[in-house]
Structures are given as C-alpha cells and as structure tokens.
Amino acid sequence: MSLLETARAVRENAYVPYSRFKVGAAIRATSGAVYAGCNVENVAYPQGTCAEAGAIAAMVAGGDTEIAEVLVIADSPEPVPPCGGCRQKLREFAKGSVAITMATTDGQSLTLTMDQLLPGAFDASHMERA
C-alpha cells in the first residue's frame, strides 16, 4: 500500500470524540517498512496523542529508527501541517531533507521538507560546549 492509502485507511480508526477531527499518518522507514498511526484523544485533553506520534511509536516498536518519508491526511480545507510538538518528534528520526506530505481527503496535497517545517531545530549539538 502507498503512504497515501495507508494514512487514509488508518485515519478511519482515529478516536476523536472531542474534536471530531480525524488525522491519519504514515511513515516509510529507510528499511522500506511502512508504519501507520491515528490520533487518539482522551477525556483529559492533554493526554491525547497525535497521529504522527502514533506512527512514530509503531515505527520504533517495529525496530526502525530512521524515517524516509511521511504523509499526514485530514479532512481539512487545506493541507494540515503537523503541530509543533510533532515536528520535533519527527525530527528525532528524520533528516532535514525528508519529505513530509500533507494531504486532504478531497485530494489536495503539499509537500515540504523536514527543515522547512522545523528550521533551526534543537538537536543534541546544542547540549555540547565547544
């Protein structure tokens, strides 16, 4: 299955009783394996998790730690960008050149690189003193 088909399918399983906003995410790891995630909300709102976080957790659980490509889909008037926290979560496993495609259920899509979505990212080098 393509990333689009995978993300579109997993989105249907999103648990969103509070926002009613279903999001699906699919990650292709450099191994070639594809991992899926959907948003999972909670009555204690901050405990909810984004689709990207679910896909990342599935990837790591599956034994992969390097992202090759990401696709996120939602029923939105325009392609929905990953939230700030998810950009940092993705950056942990994605190089700056990795393509992140934001799609809508009605067929729009926008692709940006990881670096375009999170310029000047905090990384381990910022914890070192020269």
CB of 93 to ligand THU, least distance (A): 16
Q: Please state the φ and ψ torsions of residue 111, each to the nearest 5 degrees.
A: -115, 125
Minimal distance, residue 67 CB to ligand THU, in Å: 15
Locus of tokens 């994605």: 94
Closer Cβ to ligand THU, 29 or 102, answer by number? 102
Nearest distance from C-beta of residue 58 to ligand THU, angstroms: 14
State the catalytic residue, choosing from 5, 12, 41, 52. Answer: 52
Give yes or no: 41 in active site: no
Q: In this structure, what DSSP letter does residue 114 have?
A: H
Closest CA to 25 of 44, 10, 40: 10
Q: Name the DSSP letter for residue 32.
A: S
In the complex, the residues that contact ligand THU under the rule CB under 6 A are 16, 19, 21, 23, 39, 41, 48, 50-52, 72, 80, 82-83, 86
The percent of the chain in helix, strand and coil, each rounded to the nearest 5, is 30, 25, 45
Closest CB to ligand THU among 62 and 81? 81
Catalytic residues: 52
